Amino acid sequence: MNTRGLKVFFIYALILAITSVLLLLFTNVYQNASYSVITVKVFAILEFITLSVFFYFLLDRTFLKKIIKIILVGFLVFYFLYYLNVSIFTFNNFPSIISFLILICLIVYFFYEKMQTVVLYPLYQIPSFWIAVGLFIYFAGNFFVIVFVFSYSDPAYLAQSRIIYGIITFSKNIILALALFGTEPDNADNNPDTLDLPSNLNLDEFSLTNLKNKQ
């Protein structure tokens, strides 16, 4: 995997772990809903930033990298402007819906690009593929949970939503953890035009005269 991309992913994993601990404390120990909402909001923006940068380093096309930069800046401006009119202690799902849609599109394009460029080894052997799979399961699986989070107040529906969210999140975390055990070949190994020559081959001895003598 791209070294810079791997570093960004570790930052994302660290942020995820810290956020999980804080939510556990604020929800079960201190029972402070306001702090929990603030934690979720901060995590949402940090998640979008780190994952956007993560795919920025993994994707190859310069044009798409420029688009990611524009989207990242635009989303940050939108996020902060949106919450200027909303209480800091109030959670709204609209920014999360936009974030999920953008990240799903990035992941789908990542799959498309890798299927076009990776030819010398199976995709399932590289950790970046499984990281993308885990993230896709999480964002696609929880998309409608986020969309309808405020649409229904039925306790049974809310309980089912929490179960679905928990199962999908757990599956994502397992896949992300297992992905780190994989090894990804260098970019040079994926170039079909690369010619590997034996290390003991002496090209100085190769000539038409030698070929005639051997015949």
| pLDDT at res. 102 | 95
Residue pair 190/134 in contact (Cβ under 8 Å)? The answer is no
At 174, which helix (H) or strand (E)?
Answer: helix 155-179
| pLDDT at res. 156 | 81
Residue pair 133/161 in contact (Cβ under 8 Å)? The answer is no
pLDDT averaged per 10 residues, the chain (length 215): 81 91 85 83 93 93 92 92 78 87 95 85 82 94 84 78 87 85 57 48 53 49
- Which one, of 136, 73, 78, lies nearest residue 107 by Cα? 136
At 1, which helix (H) or strand (E)?
Answer: none
